[in-house]
Amino acid sequence: MRYIAIETTSDPESHSQPSTSKQLELSRLLVKELQEMGVRDAALDEHGYVMATIPANTPNVPVIGFIAHVDSAPDAPGRVTNPQIIENYDGKDIVINSEKGMIMKIEEFPELPDYKGQTIITTDGTTLLGADDKAGIAEIMTAVDYIMSNPGFPHGEIKIGFTPDEEIGRGVDKFDVEKFGAKYAYTLDGGQIGELEYENFNAASAKIFIQGRNIHPGYAKDKMVNAIILATEFNALLPVEQRPEFTQHYEGFFHIIRFDGTVEEAMIQYIIRDHDSEKFELKKNLIEESVTYMNKKYGEGRFRVEMKDQYYNMRKQVEPHYHIVEKAVQAMEMAGVTPQIKPIRGGTDGARLSFMGLPCPNIFAGGHNFHGRYEYIPLESMVKATEVILNIVKLYSEGK
């Protein structure tokens, strides 16, 4: 609760690192807490990364790391002032905000009854909760506190990392893998209890700029070119069935995330996602082909696209080290958690870290409905995530 009270929303329009200075408030707090636990080398660098080391008490153990991100998504307000704690949840609909008529209904959120009898933490409907990824931070910090408070607990050298700007795709832009020093790592950034992921989307962003021509509407015949109308026509060229609301599992999508426009000019922004690299390239090609088509129809230069890749599917980087996935499976089973290996319908810092030489699958943090006002997390799922961290550490120390 202390972590989510600090607003850490990242800003995709900012060019600084980190993108918002308010993220550093949480990072400084984490350094202070780590040092108070006895992790003496905990430090915050000039790029906003927190790194720390727990020295080994057991020899010949691979160095492993645990990573979470401090920023919260810019999709909803991030200043959490009134979270709700529902103890001994009764398994029924949850009223998020009665004034706004916001109710989490079982028919819309069918997983809710699975948490009957547990403690549920929700928003008050005015902000997101920030469990993505402050739950991951809390779980790692709780595990560190346990290890430092129990010197007899066997472990190799453990690296701790907290990153900024994950939500805007820049979480590891300046992350020094060599300095971090882990051979393998795990991000605590997944969803519901049991999730374990080593596959993620290939990802790109695309901005389409449309130049119109504004003429007084009373005299516009054969002269006006309405950029708003052209933008909506462009969007209609993309396959409806490949929108996020109609896709699941390994199905990719085009997701329009922003639309700014006047008659004179407009801009539409998309994120493009697919697990399959060939389908990913086809999606990007379709964007470019649609721009070409619209320019042929309405005049060269009317449409312009800026497109860039953001991250890639980490599967091919993790599979050669599949034992790190197997250890996570075993650690969950030891905690009484049923592993659910599934592809991430998104991305994590671990995806890019895997391509930077640090194989890094993703473990559940326990939350649901990330990035929105209906976000919630069961306390018991967080406890289990911490158990999984400690079990992974133990398995490595035992060479199993």
How would DSSP label each residue in 197-222?
A: ES---EEEEEEEEEE-B---GGG-TT
Render pLDDT for 203-240 as a digit per residue (tens, 0 to 9): 999 999 999 999 999 999 999 999 999 999 999 999 99
Catalytic residue among 7, 132, 166, 375: 166
Query: Which has the closest alpha carbon to 175: 17, 317, 388, 2?
Result: 17
The distance from CA 399 to its chain's CA centroid, rounded to whole angstroms, is: 31
The per-residue pLDDT for 345 is: 86
How do the domains of the chain map onto residue ranges?
Answer: 23-199+313-398, 203-310
Catalytic residue among 7, 71, 167, 387: 71
Render pLDDT for 52-90 as a digit per residue (tens, 0 to 9): 999 999 999 999 999 999 999 998 988 898 999 999 999
CATH code given to domain 23-199+313-398: 3.40.630.10
**Rg (alpha carbons) of the chain, rounded to whole number:** 23
Mean pLDDT taken over the chain: 95
pLDDT band at residue 11 using 50, 70 and 90 as cut-offs: very high
Matching CATH number, 203-310, of 3.40.50.300, 3.30.70.360, 1.10.443.10, 3.40.430.10? 3.30.70.360
In which element (H, E) is residue 386 found?
A: helix 379-398
- Return d(Cα 25, Cα 179) in angstroms, integer: 23
User: Does residue 11 carry a catalytic annotation?
Assistant: no
Name the pairing type of β-strands 102-104 and 94-97: antiparallel
- Return d(Cα 135, Cα 361) in angstroms, integer: 17
Can you tell me the mean pLDDT for 337-360?
A: 91
Q: Check residue 72 and report its DSSP letter.
A: B
User: Does residue 71 carry a catalytic annotation?
Assistant: yes
Backbone phi and psi for residue 244, each to the nearest 5 degrees, phi listed first = -55, -35
Neighbours of 318 (CB within 10 A): 23
The per-residue pLDDT for 310 is: 87
Render pLDDT for 227-286 as a digit per residue (tens, 0 to 9): 999 999 999 999 999 999 999 999 999 999 999 999 999 999 999 999 999 999 999 999
